[in-house]
Amino acid sequence: MTSLALPVGNFRTGEARTCDTTGLPVCLHAQRFIKLNAVCAVVALLVGAIGAILLGLTRWPAVHLLPADWYYRVLTLHGINMLIFWIIFLEIAILYFAGTTLLKTRLASTKLAWTSFLLMAVGAVLTNITILQGTADVMMTSYAPLQAHSNFYLGMILFAVGALLGVGNFFACVWIARRDKTYQGSMPLVAFGALAAAIIAVVAILHGAIALVPTWLWSLGLMDAPDAGWYRLLWWGIGHQSQQINVCAMVSTWYLLATLTVGAKPLNQLVCRSAFVLYVLFINIASAHHLLVDPGVSAGWKIWNTSYAMYLAVLASMIHGFTVPAAVEVAQRKKGHDRGLFGWLVKAPWANPGFSAFFLSLIIFGFIGGITGVTLGTQQINIIAHNTLRIPGHFHATVVGGTSLAFMGLCYYVVPLIFRREYAARALCRLQPYLFGIGIVLVSIGMSFAGSYGVPRRHWDVEFSGAPFAKGFDSGAHVMLGLMGIGAVLAFVGLLTFILLTVHAVFLGKRNEGRAMTAW
Amino acid sequence: MHDPQRPVPPLQRLMDNPWLLLLLGVAIPFLSYTAWGWISMMTMAKATLP
Amino acid sequence: MSDPKLVDRLERERDTEPGDHKMPGTVVLTALLLLCFVVYYFANWKALADVWHVR
Ligand code: HEM
Ligand SMILES: [Cu+2]
């Protein structure tokens, strides 16, 4: 280690180092938990990826791989490992990073961090085992009165409590940082985005607890079944909110990667921060878009929560959607890439996987995820799209092409800077974001248009083989499902490439301690 | 460090208060989505058979 | 990675410099996004109108 001197901040001797590449302080305790959470995230991603290819090949009618029971089992496995475990493990890692390094603060509590990590890990393992035993084919939403084995709910509750403790540790870091005045004025923008994510996480996890604890007691035979409508109201309080944690974490990652890769800086502090505040205040009420066809809630409630105030959150996304590329443009032009309208973009570092993953994520999230999202969330239009493949078509552009791809880009920096190991097979690394990005765009478009033909989501056999009347979808729908299948294969290859490269780098990569990381 | 010549705008000073943001961020969705939704569900009249 | 180091850039992320607001390319990109949205949104209302007859 070159930097023996204690970095600025409130660190104790021997508990921090200065990063040789960025000059930022790194709390060594936080570093351990960033590593542990990131490793678990990638393991969950692998489990989810195996599920992804099996599902893609089942929903492609020409292949129709899995039998019906395994389709629903794998659908549950995929949804939970991807949406919950991969994303939340990585988000907790981001919170440890933002709460310590960016605020120049030591980790508030190592004990709390261990408790959080162990609860999350045990919960994830328990839930996965229960799913694979075939006693929890209820899909990630586990809508009561569908009932899973009690260990499924117990695992989810343990995971959620663990995550809440991790979030609590982040707030404790914020508190210490303010007490010790380790930053002046406003916290850095990326840390502010992480704060927004943490606040939304609190809302999410509280709803999760209210929904799942009674459901768990019911599965143990200690209570009556929860009301189906009530369960859906509460469950979407965590289901939707988790997506908004993703959005905040992803936007923060965009800002961070823009700085790391092209040296961009936020366009305007006030504007960027107000956009995060709009998320915190208004994005959560949009959960109501999941209940737009539910009979139990009033029209007034639906309309208020999915339009009016909710559009303030859409405004926030549009602000970030402008300021992030604008920051890149400004930085590039200052470097002399000033030709014409798009010279800056052409001359961008497209061979740096941190940049390509970030920019592809921005484009896919905005052009596909954003446009479909606002459309599907419109109450009247929702009625022609609800429960069709258009819905997974939308969120594979947001949480997969958007968040997951941005997180992959982040890993291309986290591994060299925090694990202090270099990626090998650099050419493959450079190619990987494109493989995954193009694949997932095909998946998303294929699903969306198949859904427009009326193909339902969560459906094992859209051919209805063996039905007394011939019923099925016309050839256009089949072309689209084929497109989705081909995209699934591509995206799966891209995902597997990422996982192998990352696992190799983490365990066998060349060490770079004592010097700056090899530039991409 | 920010330029002491330029005062921090008041709105930004409000945003610099994480605890206030936490409070509002939890209260707004709880009232607008959860509580109202719950009430709406409990007060919905039972459908009569056709 | 290009200099200056990230730590210095974060310190100065609030300062403004000349050329900080030259972004015509982004304006065009976002206008394109808005256009795509208008087309898709309109097509969806049209599709809805085709199946939901208002008398
Ligand atoms: C190689 C990449 C991926 C492919 C090919 C893929 C493909 C699929 C397919 C075919 C389905 C089934 C849709 C249905 O039958 O209704 C599905 C569902 C789903 N996927 Fe993915 N996916 C991928 C990555 C991801 C990632 C990274 C996430 C989250 C971060 C994710 C989240 C989900 C969710 C939440 C569902 C819905 C599960 C449910 O309906 O209960 N997927 N995916
Ligand atoms: Cu939602």
Contact between B3 and C15 using a beta-carbon 8 Å cutoff: yes
Q: Say how far apart CA A159 and CA A139 lie, in whole Å.
A: 17
Ligand 1 atom with least separation from CA of A494:
1
* Mean pLDDT for back-to-back runs of 10 residues, chain A (520 residues): 63 88 92 95 96 96 94 97 93 94 94 98 98 96 95 96 96 94 87 94 92 96 94 94 91 93 87 91 91 92 84 88 93 90 95 97 95 92 94 96 95 93 96 97 97 94 83 90 97 96 94 89
At A171-184, the pLDDT tens digits run 999 999 999 999 88
The finding on whether A250 has its CB within 6 A of some atom of ligand 1 is no
Task: Report CA A256 to chain centroid distance, whole Å.
Answer: 16
Cα–Cα distance measured from residue A14 to residue A30, given in angstroms and rounded to the nearest whole number = 13
As a whole number of angstroms, the distance between CA A205 and CA A211 comes to 10
At A184, give phi and psi (nearest 5°): -110, 145
Query: Ligand 1: does its nearest atom lie under 6 Å from the Cβ of A82?
Result: yes
Instruction: Please give the number of the atom of ligand 1 that sits closest to the Cα of A457.
Output: 16
Of A134, A129, A121, A210, whose CA–CA distance to A166 is shortest?
A: A121
* Among chain B residues, CA nearest to A280: B25
Query: What pLDDT, on the 0 to 100 scale, is given for residue A354?
Result: 97
Which residues have CB under 8 Å from A325's CB, separation 6+? A359, A362, C23, C25, C26, C29, C30
Q: Which residues make beta-bridge pairs with A25?
A: A18
Give, for C3, the enclosing helix (H) or strand (E).
none
| Of residues A171, A206, A287, nearest to B33 (C-beta) | A287
Report residue A253 as tokens: 């990652």
Interchain contact B1–C (C-beta under 8 A): yes
Question: What's the mean per-residue pLDDT of chain A?
Answer: 93
C46: contact with A, CB 8 A cutoff: no
| C-alpha radius of gyration, chain C, whole number | 22
Nearest to C21 by CA among A343, A339, A267: A267
CA distance A347 to A338: 9
The whole-number pLDDT of residue C14 equals 67
CA distance C45 to C30: 23
A145 cis-preceded (ω within 30 degrees of 0): yes
Report the predicted TM-score, pTM, of the whole model to 2 decimal places.
Answer: 0.93
Tell me the average pLDDT of chain B: 84
HSE of A59, CA atoms in CB hemisphere, 13 A:
32
Here the ipTM equals 0.89
pLDDT of residue A1: 40
C28-42 per-position pLDDT tens digit: 999 999 999 999 999
The pLDDT value recorded for residue A5 is 60
Q: Does B2 touch chain C (CB under 8 A)?
A: yes
Around A217, how many Cα atoms within 13 Å sit in the side-chain half-sphere? 10
Contact: C6, A267; criterion CB under 8 Å:
no
CA of C52 to the centre of ligand 1 (A): 31
CA of A238 relative to ligand 2 center, distance in Å: 10
Yes or no: say if A511 and A485 are a contact pair by the CB < 8 Å rule. no
Nearest to A77 by CA among A22, A128, A28: A128
Please give all residues whose CB falls under 5 A of ion ligand 2, grouped by chain where several chains appear. Answer: A 240
Question: Is residue B44 predicted with pLDDT exceeding 80?
Answer: yes
Phi-psi region of A216 (alpha: psi -120 to 50; beta: other; left: phi over 0): alpha
For chain C, the structural domain boundaries read 22-55
Q: In this predicted structure, what is the pLDDT of residue C10? A: 72
Rounded to whole angstroms, the Cα distance separating A157 from A169 reads 18
Give the distance, in angstroms, between the CA of residue A222 and the centroid of all CA atoms in the same chain: 35
A309: amino acid identity, one letter: A
- The whole-number pLDDT of residue C2 equals 44
Going by alpha carbons, the residue nearest to atom 22 of ligand 1 is A52
Nearest to A500 by CA among A32, A38, A35, A42: A42
Please write down the HEC assignment for all residues of A349-396. CCCCHHHHHHHHHHHHHHHHHHHHHHHHCCHHHHCCCCCECHHHHHHH
